Amino acid sequence: MKLSHLSLITCLLLSSQALALSSDQDQPVYIDSDSQQLDMKSNKVTFQGDVKLKQGSININAAKVVVTRNPKNGSIQSIDAFGNLVTFSQLTDDGKTLYGEAKEMQYSLAKDQLTMKKSAMLSQDDSTIRGSQIRYKISQQKLIADSQSKGDRVTTVLQPQAAQE
């Protein structure tokens, strides 16, 4: 497995002025779907069919979303999203949009981390990162992209205007 610590790209894509909206984590989570199933024993709710999730400026669109809550206090621990293409977007404090897509995503509120798996892509300002898996630690602005199998590579495209800033 190849591992690429992308400090340069992190600086370019996710500069200090490009923090995710700091108020997002304090906002309620709204979910619309075609169906919903609650499993009270496992503290999981499964949403299926054109699922649209919104928390502040965060938007996730997927075919299926599983929300897991903490059994002790009821807080949301994680949001797992699945689909042919799951999309994620979030505004930054400076008004730019961070956009991601993959076949699977896990948004761990407890860890403040977004993990995108299987054909993962993350972009901002026309600069992109592609890999088998991308992990983005939101509050720390740390990003790690991996290629999971032999022959796969992590691909980064930096646009000239982003490189000059």
Cut 0.85: pTM above it? no
Distance CA 62, CA 51 (A): 5
Distance CA 102, CA 84 (A): 8
pLDDT 10s digits, 115-129: 999 888 888 877 788
Q: What one-character-per-residue DSSP string does 3-30 give?
A: EEE-HHHHHHHS-GGGPBPTTGGGSPEE
Domains of the chain (ranges; CATH) run 24-147 (2.60.450.10)
Q: Which phi-psi region, left, alpha or beta, contains residue 141 (left: φ > 0; alpha: ψ -120 to 50)? A: left
pLDDT 10s digits, 35-80: 999 998 999 999 999 999 998 888 999 999 999 998 888 888 899 9
